[in-house]
Structure 1
Amino acid sequence: MTTSINYEDKIPNNVDLSSDRRLQRALEGWQPKFLNWWGEMGPALENQGVYLRTAVSVGREGWAHFDHVALEQYRWGIFLSEPRQDRRIAFGENRGAPAWQQVPGEYRADLQRLIVVQGDTEPASVEQQRLLGLTAPSLYDLRNLFQVNVEEGRHLWAMVYLLHAYFGREGREEAEALLFRNSGSPDSPRILGAFNEETADWLAFYMFTYFTDRDGKYQLGTLKESAFDPLSRTCEFMLKEEAHHMFVGTTGVDRVVQRSADLIREHDTMDIAAHGGIPLEIIQRYINFHYSVSLDLFGSETSTNAANYFTAGLKGRWQEERRTDDHKLTEDAMFLDKPGADGIWTQEELSALLLLNLDLRGEYSADCQNGLNRWNKILSDAGIDFRLSLPHVGFNREVGVYSDFHISPQGTVLDAATWEQCRAKWLPTSEDFTFVRSLMYPVYERGRIASWVAPPRQGINGKPFDYEYVYLP
């Protein structure tokens, strides 16, 4: 394995792909199918070059090169992070044993399933965002959208490589299926619900890259701990790319809140819809929706599958090696907050092994709060007495212990009638979507931006905001 990436091969890689002719031929056979999928389901807006970053090394320094590249000529490839010498399994019943370089037979099905589910999310987000370029608020934003898209495509390659290299015929069939399923398809939808939702406007895109890509960060973080070393190294490099996706979401919502705050002050009213801004109440409803849908991606709070994955060493906890317990959890317990039909909340003490999804979700929620703190500081600095908030973890849930209950954003258990009466206050309405989409018109001139969002504080890779980030026909 080498640190640098070989761009001479048909498929760029740092795994010495040319030394395994059978694997190379298999992946080269999958490549045109990927390119066909990209042509049909990738970005709809034609362009003649995008200022993209391309990985040139997996090392800590100097790993990316920036230049204008036509999207269809982007060099997708297979990149694993640098190997750790004598890496040991950090958790579970095999703790302390050497990390696996091949798939143990007894864990083959479980590892394949984990890789397929992760792999299925990557092309799904590209499909969800296919039409967004047609309404980009600036060339800067258009460039960021395309950067996210090509890297999600590369993350698909990362999972497909593992399927081809380590799972034989079944792995190759699963790799084909990753291109067969499509987001929102009635016949062959994506595996996870959040990846079948529509992303039809740029506020939804910023929310998706803040909340849903952040879920991806935490899922990749647990797989980075895996005893299966090729999966661990693959996810470690994916996390490096994923950071930019969350940056797009964080700063995107920053800029929407900033513009709304500016309009509130300029016109001395919270009702800024008539002035081309997005009211804070609508922003809050978008937060409520995207946060709650993303929470469902963590699965049920109690999970024997998660416990078994941990015990076997397949999937660890977030930052497992920084934890100070015994990394086996056979004697540890956690508390789960549970609602009752009488509206009373209680706590149930359960094995920490059974509550691993809850543990990961807690890390995620704390991270999400950082964004709310940023956005509320913008409002505070503007002298606006309004605060955005994360809804209760039981709000609007379709998975887990809360899915059979109607729970308000404040955590109150409601009857069905009260929920239906109030849901328009808490979740985006058809009127909200219609209004937000009415603002979505393209701005492709250098240095200009749509009226509903503030410009960024700085450009990409030291370039100014008015740089020609995308060449359009």
Structure 2
Amino acid sequence: MPDKIDYDAKIPNNVDLSSDRRLQRALEGWQPKFMHWWGEMGPTLETHGVYLRTAVSVGREGWAHFDHVVPDQYRWGVFLAERDPDRRIAFGEHQGEPAWQQVPAEYRADLQRLIVIQGDTEPASVEQQKLLGLTAPSLYDLRNLFQVNVEEGRHLWAMVYLLHAYFGKEGRTEAEALLYRNSGSPDAPRILGAFNEETADWLAFYMFTYFTDRDGKYQLGTLKESGFDPLSRTCEFMLKEEAHHMFVGTTGVDRVVQRSAELIREFDTLDIGPRGGIPLQIIQKYINFHYTVSLDLFGSETSTNGANYYTAGLKGRWQETRRKDDHQLTNDVGILERPRADGTWETEEMQAILLLNLDLRAEYMADCQTGIKRWNRILEKHEIDFQFKLPHPGFNRDVGINASQHITPEGTIVDEATWQQGKHNWLPTTEDLTFVRSLMQPVYERGKIASWVAPPTNGINGKPFDYDYVHLP
């Protein structure tokens, strides 16, 4: 790495990096460590060029510049959405005050924590997907994997910029720790559980980008409302790129379901495993797992931390400014459903401000249901009598009020023996995972695709499916 960084060419940005000597020194110290992390923990498959989208400015013409790029030469930039000089805090006890351009001293620790947690998720998914390029079903899919990976790297840069620019020595220490922790490490795991799970096959990758990246959308959406304006503007720009990650997941599962449906119709059986397809029941098990693991990312249903963040103006609700209430929540109530010791459910009325995690989770759950409808329409089109479903939010949970409960996908509270007896019907078994992984044979020929997934309807940026998206050695 060079001793000095050409900030205009190497790090596209709209935060005037070239004139900030202190920030320059901080990033000059961090970038080589980032590149070492990318070399060690980034994609295993080497390429001579991938057709990637690079953000070079925040404007309509600049945020999506396409060209073939060697991934380790990608220009990870730092961008904030354009500043609104009249922006005011929309909620909490500081409602109506001008948005903060600097970190308020009384909220310094809380803001740093929020940024670190968000930042920790970004490199984690790259680590989880490290080996996937070795089994890509097509060059189109391989290109999408690299696009997701480099953008997760850029999102890490976005959070690291905030830590370096606004949090001094502590921020620099936390920025280095983001590269020290690794997904699944027994000694230094990632902060949130879902980001320590293995993503060992492409069906899991599609599910991750559908369900877990969708959680990222909602978390970024709450931070976009923050009274700390640089964080708000950073997250607003990140949401543009997050949309592509969810597109990869949505259309990826579409294509798996489409191909499975074609095989079911062709051979007139749901048992398409011997025909090289992924059975619908296995797809449902993957849905069950990835959806419930992602629900854990919303935290406990009741949260005093969430209430404090809201009152302080640090983290709002999804689409806060569109809400038709006083944005204080001091007198509002909500309903919490909780399991009882006798195996039944009860509802409890609580202060709404304590249920902000539940509020956000409800928005997410409704959004996830749109995917289920899409995939069921594919089955209906092929006249297949099967329907995918989202499991009950209490199913398979490790966080919150249902973590110690045994709850079926239908929402029935059962004993441990019944749970263990039915578990193989609800979650991917070792045999299921082994079977799916047996299908993961790489297809690197232009215009060709693996037999277990349908080709996409459209290519990237107007290019055809058989475009040379990736140049391999």
Counterpart for residue 49 of structure 1: 49
CA distance in 2, matches of 1:280, 1:288: 12
Distance in 2 (CA, whole Å) between partners of 1:153 and 1:122 is 7
Using the TM superposition, give the Cα deviation of residue 12 of structure 1 relative to its aligned residue in structure 2, in angstroms.
Answer: 2.2
**Greater mean deviation of Cα atoms: 165-174 or 11-20:** 11-20
- Structure 1: which amino acid aligns with 2:393? V
Residue identity opposite 2:389 in structure 1: S
Q: Please, what TM-score do these two structures have when normalized by structure 2?
A: 0.98
**Map of 1:150 onto structure 2:** 150
**278 and 23 in structure 1: CA distance in 2 versus 1, 3 angstrom threshold:** same
Structure 1 match to 2:458: 458
Q: Which residue number corresponds to residue 437 of structure 1?
A: 437
- Cα deviation digits, residues 154-199 of structure 1 (max 9, x gap): 0000000000000010000000000000000000000000000000
Would the aligned equivalents of 1:201 and 1:437 in 2 still touch at CA under 8 Å?
yes
Match of 2:31 in 1: 31
What residue is the counterpart of 1:277 in the other structure? 277
Q: Quote the offset at 1:59 in angstroms.
A: 2.3
Alpha-carbon distance in 2 for matches of 1:463, 1:7: 31
Counterpart of 1:133 in structure 2 is 133
Show CA shifts across 1:5-60 (max 9, x none): x9625432110011110111111110010001000000000100000001122124
Work out the CA distance in 2 between the residues paired with 1:300 and 1:11: 38
Q: Is the 8 A contact 2:12 2:56 kept in 1?
A: no
Residue 303 (structure 1) shift: 0.1
Amino acid in structure 1 at the alignment position of 2:464: P
Please tell me whether the aligned partners of residues 13 and 56 of structure 2 are also in contact (alpha carbons under 8 angstroms). Answer: no
1:160 and 2:160 aligned: yes
User: Aligned AA for 1:202?
Assistant: W
Q: Which residue of 1 aligns with 2:293?
A: 293
Equivalent residue letter for 1:21: R
* Corresponding residue for residue 391 of structure 2: 391
CA distance in 2, matches of 1:81, 1:426: 43
Runs of 5+ consecutive residues of structure 2 not aligned to the other structure: 1-5
Q: Where do 1:280-359 residues align within 5 Å? A: 280-359=280-359
3-state SS of 1:222 partner: helix
Kept after mapping to 2: 8 A contact 1:337/1:346 = yes
The equivalences for 1:94-105 within 5 A come to 94-105=94-105
Moved more, 313-322 or 17-26: 17-26
Q: Give the equivalent residue in structure 2 for 1:376.
A: 376
- Amino acid aligned to 1:377: R
Q: Matched residue of 1:142: which SS? A: helix
2:210 aligned partner: 210
Q: Which residue of the partner structure matches residue 413 of structure 2?
A: 413
- Taking the aligned partners of 2:224 and 2:376, their CA distance within structure 1 comes to 33
- Secondary structure at the residue paired with 1:407? coil
Q: Any idea what the Cα deviations from partners look like across 1:73-107, whole Å, max 9, x if unmatched?
A: 10112111111121000000000000000000000
Point out the more displaced range, 338-347 or 120-129: 338-347
* Residue aligning to 1:242: 242
CA contact under 8 A between 1:59 and 1:81: conserved in structure 2? no
Q: Which amino acid in structure 1 is aligned with residue 48 of structure 2?
A: Q
Which 4+ stretches in 1 moved above 4 angstroms? none
**Which runs of structure 2 are paired with 1:114-133 in the superposition (5 Å)?**
114-133=114-133
Instruction: Quote the residue 1:63 is aligned against.
Output: 63
Amino acid at match of 2:28: E
* Structure 1 CA distance for aligned equivalents of residues 438 and 206 of structure 2: 17
Inter-partner Cα distance in structure 2 for 1:139 and 1:354 = 47
**What is the 5 A alignment of 1:52-91?**
52-91=52-91
* 3-state secondary structure, aligned to 1:353: helix
Aligned to 1:3: none
Mapped partners of 1:374, 1:356: distance in 2: 28
Which residue in the other structure is 1:17 paired with?
17
The number of residues matched between the two structures is 468
22-31 vs 375-384, which moves further: 22-31
Give ranges in structure 1 of 5+ residues lacking alignment.
1-5
Q: Secondary structure at the match of 1:67?
A: strand
Q: 1:12 to 1:57 in 2, by over 3 A?
A: closer
The alignment partner of 1:451 has SS state of coil
* Native 8 Å contact 1:11 1:28 kept in 2: no
Q: Give the equivalent residue in structure 1 for 2:3.
A: none
**Partner amino acid for 1:88?**
R
Aligned to 1:256: 256
Q: Distance in 2 between matches of 1:65 and 1:93?
A: 41
Helix, strand or coil for the counterpart of 2:346?
strand
Q: TM (normalized to structure 1)? A: 0.98
Distance in 1 between the 2:458 and 2:22 partners? Answer: 46
> How far is 1:62 from its partner?
4.9
CA contact (8 A) 2:254 2:374 kept: yes
**1:183-236 deviations in Å (ceiling 9; x for gaps):** 000000000000000000000000000000000000000000000000000000
What is the alpha-carbon root mean square deviation over aligned residues? 0.9
| Partners of 2:330 and 2:86 in 1: CA distance | 26
Distance 1:18 1:446 in 2: 42
